[in-house]
Amino acid sequence: MDIKDCIIYEKTIPAHPAVYDDFPENLLPELAGYNDLATTDAHLLSEWDYEKNKNISPNKISRHSMQSVWWKCSLGHSWKAKISERAIEGKGCKVCEKDYLTVFPKLAVMYYAAKKRIKVQTDTDKIIGIPLEIYLPEEKAAIETVSRTDRVFFYKLLQM
């Protein structure tokens, strides 16, 4: 066989696969099984909302996609987020994150108070007649959330 009888096949794939998000399906390069979301980030498939994403398949979209799709966490919360935020940035359920950010300060106070053997009461209105988030009776102090912004909580220590 001579070199001139050989067929040379060349295929180039752009470095940033997100450019394929708006391509017609028949023009897409090989994504499935190579660089599709289902292959590169299989752990996200359990949170992919197949009911709400009927026209989108994780086998035909890249982890770099800026397209927003529906997700569903193990607790049943449903939210919309960009594929790249989930696959690359590692962002999770917005509802669970908000719940975590709300409860974490209480857990932290309870943990460190237990190490010092200090009693902690949470979410009570029996002390002074108004709801208190965290109350340390031995210290005669309460810790309250003053304001909340995105991911930042401001607290105030109240001396009784």
Express each pLDDT in 52-108 by its tens digit.
Answer: 999 999 988 888 889 999 999 999 999 999 999 999 999 999 888 887 777 777 888
The answer on pLDDT for 133 being more than 50 is: yes
The answer on pLDDT for 132 being more than 50 is: yes
Quick check: 20 and 36 in contact, CB under 8 A? no
Could you tell me which of 148, 144, 119, 120 has the C-alpha nearest to residue 133?
A: 144
Q: What is the pLDDT of residue 95?
A: 87
Given pLDDT bands bounded at 50, 70 and 90, which one contains residue 155?
Answer: low
Gap between the Cα atoms of 3 and 100, Å rounded = 64
Q: What is the pLDDT of residue 15?
A: 47
